A and B are shown apart, each in its own frame.
Chain A
């Protein structure tokens, strides 16, 4: 029996899977196996895999018709034969001593789950270690109800005793988002006895360069947000049930609050705030779901969250894009026809969705029609455009943009939070806007 099996779901991974397999070849642990599930790739993924498995007999690959990452991982689990099993994505890597460290810690503590470090790289980052993962990895014994576990769902920095995992019957649910969290927490709640950490294993999680403009819309849609909510609800229900049997030393109320808080946090930060990248349904769903979660939160918790995100006016959260467009925190007036599209792309990246855009009619024909469908975009006649725009702007905080330039995504949000009297802010808004953007873009403050 190999010591560790590495399950790798691969879908059109030709760009990075070589790096991933290289890191396995370099491992200091002997007697490992790689179980690659080619999830119906249409690129050269398979031939890259073959070039490796020809050379290294312990690299095995299987093909399945495209069925998604969860199905591929579950499939891999049935093929794996190692004492321990880890799940690595086809664009991520391990440090060279990771599998040895996982195996040693697993053996030393007779552990069901071993957690290692986690570092993000790519997109200009060299390797940023997660503090939450480090706190866990440092521990010899981790409480199954440790709150930090809720905040690190990623599958790659965790190693499982295979036979016990299989015996538990827990599998990856076929969700499209956050399926790793639902899997991991379900297994934790299924009654695992021993979780431990190791600082000598580290998974490097590749962050992909974010595309500018509306093309990011694939990351925000009703399917994903529904999937995410299903996942978190599954975790919440599982926790509730598991807590019934938990010792009294566990603060059950605080624990459940943490799950609700995480749910709310991601819902708002990753979906609601990006509403202009998603469909109408997504915004409406977020708002409805937020209200349900609000009722589950303690007033203290809710107030803290609301105040931290005060630019969203969460007490009266906008129920739709239509409604969000009615009460902007700021209005952008784009006084440029030829480069309007470029400017729009940077404006719609703003992390606070409560803004309005006014463009001249002459630009309307030169921009993608998706923009024209935005409820917060207003088109005015070129004649007397600037004067008219200033008059028609729904917000008194107006900024005129004449040419494309780098905008930090946080500008409107931070200006809203800036502790200045509202009147003063409005009076000097264009100046403050430029100043704030300069400071953020030049990274003078973080």
Chain B
């Protein structure tokens, strides 16, 4: 079914691409993750808006939802947005967009993958083993990419491998998503929003628990069995508050939340990063943000061996991560209270980030759009 939908989409796209000329000032943003564009796409859009004179096209997951009330939107996606995408001068993506595999862009169109994560941690893209069909589709989609943006020179070869492109097309211009963290006004606003909603947490040290989503539902259930929030809270004492952010697909049982504040529904995860003092995670790339901001992360990896079988890492896990690795709640509590290992964090940060500033979206806009080369 999906294959058929993609094929129809590609057909409509290709007809438009043949018939119509590219509009250099039309810029498409394709976001299969979220609709709020509070990520790299949004930052690049802002950089373009500052200059002015662009027309934007937005494509989100909602456009592809198969629901009855969604019919008009889906029709527009197929018949209007396919043409707009085909005639865009620039297309920015933040994830794989599989319908693209059959789409043949005109050569004047620049297609840029911004990706939704920074640095390297878990293997991703073509670096992981996949079923043949998926892989073939991904390779075909990646052929449409003019450039992939990454966050440092060191990670260029990894991004080149993950997207099956040459090194010179993986541009280390920095992550536009992290620009947000370096604008003072955002941090102020984040604090304001957060404490307005959780006034009781004011003055406490905030520890965020954000585990990674596992593909296997059984494994997902285990996460909350292992994470005893109440115990952790007790061990840490009154000075601390534990926040919990689960993957939207993990339904927490009421009991699992005891002792922690559930912030799963909190809209902008960047605000949580901004207000929290420390992170507990296992394999989530959110640790990149904490490292970038010189904040502590404790890696509570009770199922490391099992996870590794499923999704390997680029480097030795314990050696590479910017914090201590724990397997029990007691260890985790101790690690949270211990002093920050600045050296280990710095090494990780230096490797993954060339820029600690708010200008990456500008760099991308300048390099790709304003300072265009033929």
- Whether B357 pairs with A117 at a CB distance below 8 angstroms is no
| Residue with the highest number of chain A CB atoms closer than 10 Å, among B357, B370, B371 | B371
Q: Are the CB atoms of B367 and A97 closer together than 8 Å? A: yes
Q: Which of A28-70 contact B (CB under 8 A)?
A: 28, 30
User: Which residues of chain B have C-beta atoms less than 8 A from A200's C-beta?
Assistant: 366-367, 371
Q: How far is the CA of A200 from the CA of B366 in the complex (A)?
A: 8
Please tell me if the beta carbons of B371 and A117 are within 8 angstroms of each other in the complex: yes
- Which one of B357, B362, B373 contacts A96 once the chains associate, using CB atoms below 8 Å? B362
Task: Collect the chain A residues with CB atoms within 8 Å of residue B359's CB.
Answer: 28, 96-97
Interface residue A142 (Cβ < 8 Å from any Cβ of B): no
What is the bound-complex CA distance between A96 and B366, given in angstroms?
Answer: 7
Contact with A along B331-374 (1 / 0, CB 8 A): 00000000000000000000000000101001100110011010
Q: With CB as the reference atom, state the residue of chain B lying closest to A104.
A: B354
Given the known A-B contacts A97-B362, A134-B373, A199-B373, are A28 and B357 also in contact in the complex, defined by CB atoms under 8 Å? yes
Please indicate the chain A residues that have their CB under 8 angstroms from the CB of B370 in the complex: 95
Contact present for A95 and B371 (CB under 8 Å): yes
A389 neighbours in B (Cβ, 8 Å): none
A111 interfacial contact with B, CB 8 Å: no
Which listed residue, A30, A97, A134, A202, touches B363 by the CB 8 Å rule?
A97
**Chain B contact residues, majority secondary structure:** helix
By a CB distance below 8 angstroms, the chain A residues around B357 are: 28, 30
Q: In the assembly, what is the distance between CA of A200 and CA of B365, in Å? A: 11
B contact residues, range: under 10
Q: Which B residues are in CB contact (< 8 Å) with A199?
A: 371, 373
C-beta contact mask, B182-213 vs A, less than 8 Å → 1, else 0? 00000000000000000000000000000000
Task: Give the distance to chain B from A197, nearest Cβ to Cβ, in Å.
Answer: 12
Bound Cα distance from A317 to B339, whole angstroms: 85
Enumerate chain B residues within 8 angstroms of A134, measured Cβ to Cβ.
373
- Chain A residues bordering chain B, tally (CB within 8 A): 12
The smallest C-beta distance from B147 to any residue of chain A, in angstroms, reads 13
Distance in angstroms between the alpha carbons of A95 and B362 in the assembled complex: 10
Q: Which residues of B contact A97 (CB under 8 A)?
A: 359, 362-363, 366-367, 371
Q: Which residue of A lies closest to B50 (CB)?
A: A26
Closest to A199 in B: B373
Among residues of B, the one whose C-beta sits closest to the C-beta of A30 is: B357
Question: For B367, what are the chain A residues with a Cβ–Cβ distance below 8 Å?
Answer: 97, 200
Among A97, A100, A117, A202, residue most surrounded by chain B Cβ atoms (within 10 Å): A97
Output the nearest chain B residue to A29 by Cβ-Cβ distance: B359
Contact with A along B59-96 (1 / 0, CB 8 A): 00000000000000000000000000000000000000
Measured CA separation A202–B362 after assembly (Å): 14
Whether the Cβ atoms of A95 and B366 lie closer than 8 Å is yes
- Give the chain B neighbours of A96 by CB distance below 8 A: 359, 362, 366
Report the bound CA distance from A97 to B359 in whole Å.
9
Q: Which residues of A contact B371 (CB under 8 A)?
A: 95, 97, 117, 199-200, 202
Contact with B along A88-100 (1 / 0, CB 8 A): 0000000111001
- Determine the chain B residues whose CB is within 8 A of the CB of A117 once the complex forms: 371
CB nearest neighbor in A for B373: A199
Which residues of chain A are near B363, meaning CB under 8 Å? 28, 97, 100
Q: How far is the CA of A392 from the CA of B250 in the complex (A)?
A: 98
Q: Smallest CB–CB gap between B167 and chain A, Å? A: 15
B365–chain A nearest beta-carbon distance, Å: 8
Task: List the A residue with the shortest CB-CB distance to B366.
Answer: A97
In Å, the complex CA distance between A202 and B359 comes to 17
Q: Output the least CB separation between B162 and chain A (Å).
A: 24
Within 8 A of B (CB), among A66-116: 95-97, 100
> What's the Cα separation between A97 and B365 when bound, in Å?
10
- Residues of B within 8 Å of A30, CB to CB, are 357
Most buried by A among B363, B366, B370: B366
**In the complex, which residues 225-269 of chain B have their Cβ closer than 8 Å to any Cβ of chain A?**
none
Contact pattern, A 1-44, Cβ under 8 Å of B = 1, otherwise 0: 00000000000000000000000001010100000000000000
Whole-angstrom CA separation of A26 from B366 in the bound complex = 12
Query: How far, in whole Å, are A339 and B230 apart by their CA atoms in the complex?
Result: 94
Chain A residues near B366: list those with CB within 8 A: 95-97, 200
Alpha-carbon distance A95/B370, docked complex (angstroms): 8
Rounded to whole Å, the gap between the CB of B14 and the closest CB of chain A is: 31
The smallest C-beta distance from B353 to any residue of chain A, in angstroms, reads 15
For A27, give the chain B residue with the smallest CB separation: B359
CA A30 to CA B356, docked complex, whole Å: 11
Distance, CA A96 to CA B48, complexed state (A) = 13
Q: Apart from A96-B359, A97-B359, A134-B373, what are 7 other A-B pairs with CB-CB below 8 Å?
A: A28-B357, A30-B357, A95-B366, A96-B362, A97-B362, A97-B366, A117-B371
Residues of A within 8 A of B (CB): 26, 28, 30, 95-97, 100, 117, 134, 199-200, 202
Closest 5 CB pairs of A and B: A28-B359, A97-B366, A96-B362, A202-B371, A97-B363
**What are 27 A-B interface contacts by the 8 Å CB criterion?**
A26-B362, A28-B357, A28-B359, A28-B362, A28-B363, A30-B357, A95-B366, A95-B370, A95-B371, A96-B359, A96-B362, A96-B366, A97-B359, A97-B362, A97-B363, A97-B366, A97-B367, A97-B371, A100-B363, A117-B371, A134-B373, A199-B371, A199-B373, A200-B366, A200-B367, A200-B371, A202-B371
